Amino acid sequence: MNKTELTKLNVGYNLDWLMNLDPRGYGVCRILYDGAIKYTGKPLSLNGAEGLVKNIKKGEKVFILTGFILLPWNEAETDGIISSTVFARFVIRAFGAKPVMLVPEQCEKAIKAMSEVLGVDITYDIDNIPDNTICIVSFTKDKSKEEEQTQEILSHGLPCAVISNEAPGRNKNGYYHNAVGVNTTDIEAKYDVLFRECQSRGIYNLSIGDLGNELGMGTIEKHIRKYIPYAEKGGCKAGTGFGILADTAADNIITATVSDWGMNALMACTAFLLNDLDLFHTEKEEAAVMDAAAKAGMLDMYGEARPYIDGIGKNIVLPIISLMRGLIEYPHTVEDKTDKWFETTIKKGYFK
């Protein structure tokens, strides 16, 4: 362990702790994090950031899967789509990559609205993605067509990474559920085959979730089944037999109180590793995309088209963005003042 390694480790932990603040107080985020950190073996944000830096290449596609549809409104929620659109710009600016957002059709209008705020363009041509442009692909909700669309998309070239963020994932019986176990199979995009196909081809993959019904969360199946409501076998209200837990298991996972917070921590940690604070968005930009998504009809988890994410407003969301920026900026400002502290702390042997 050296100074650089210890700094990265603790920046990762700082961001992890921020993304797992628990304003509601019911503790699900702490339960998930305990299982996820045991699996990952290091801060989740740091593990993800290191994966992005290692695998995302200039000019190559990055698949971003997001968009959870809510009943009874048949509209997409704000969580997932907001941070995923910001992330699409992030991979353009950080790596010169080509983001491809695979979403249910309800999300397209919000991506367009947020892209205007973020200063990026939109295309639907997956074979010709100009610089500073997000490609949108509307993904099927029809089980009988997911294999066909998966092969069609991959025929245009493989991505260097596939990232799912608050994306619906089916359980072992093939059903999709909302947070309280209601069957939402008919209205959700069917990403599992695409994600697994990319995974089987050795493509870097990462999933972000905040409950267990999200694509990729099967990675910590035993932990979620034991401790998360409606995830136990027979626990869903739909009677599908296997609860809400998504069956697909990602190689890398991030869990957070709100999936958007997990994605924000991932971007912040990546910006830190790349030593470029300006890659991470500002409070002003976060507020603007929240407003744009709400105006485009995206819903808060309670069914209101308002600039909230999972029931949490700007009074909490924006300070978290500010703190994340501060936590990745500060270490560089005191590098010449902390050598002795690092040296003596490392010698004690706690950090190895």
The answer to whether residue 98 sits within a structural domain is: yes
pLDDT for position 247 = 98
What backbone phi and psi angles, to 5 degrees, belong to 203? -80, 135
The answer to whether residue 352 sits within a structural domain is: no
The answer to whether residue 117 sits within a structural domain is: yes
Q: What is the CATH number of the domain that holds 37?
A: 3.90.1640.20
pLDDT tens digits, one per residue of 47-105? 999 999 999 999 999 999 999 999 999 999 999 999 999 999 999 999 999 999 999 99
The pLDDT of 278-291, averaged and rounded, is 99
The answer to whether residue 227 sits within a structural domain is: yes
pLDDT band, very low/low/confident/very high, at 24 (cuts 50, 70, 90):
very high
CB 133 within 8 Å of CB 122? yes
The answer to whether residue 165 sits within a structural domain is: yes
Number of folded domains that form the chain: 1
Rounded Cα distance, 287 and 307, in Å: 8
pLDDT for position 234 = 87
> What percent of the chain is predicted at pLDDT more than 70?
100
The answer to whether residue 204 sits within a structural domain is: yes
What backbone phi and psi angles, to 5 degrees, belong to 206? -145, 135
Predicted TM-score of the model (pTM): 0.97
pLDDT band, very low/low/confident/very high, at 335 (cuts 50, 70, 90):
confident
The pLDDT of 124-144, averaged and rounded, is 98
CB 99 within 8 Å of CB 73? no
Domain with 282 in it: 3-347
Does the pLDDT value for residue 238 go beyond 80?
no
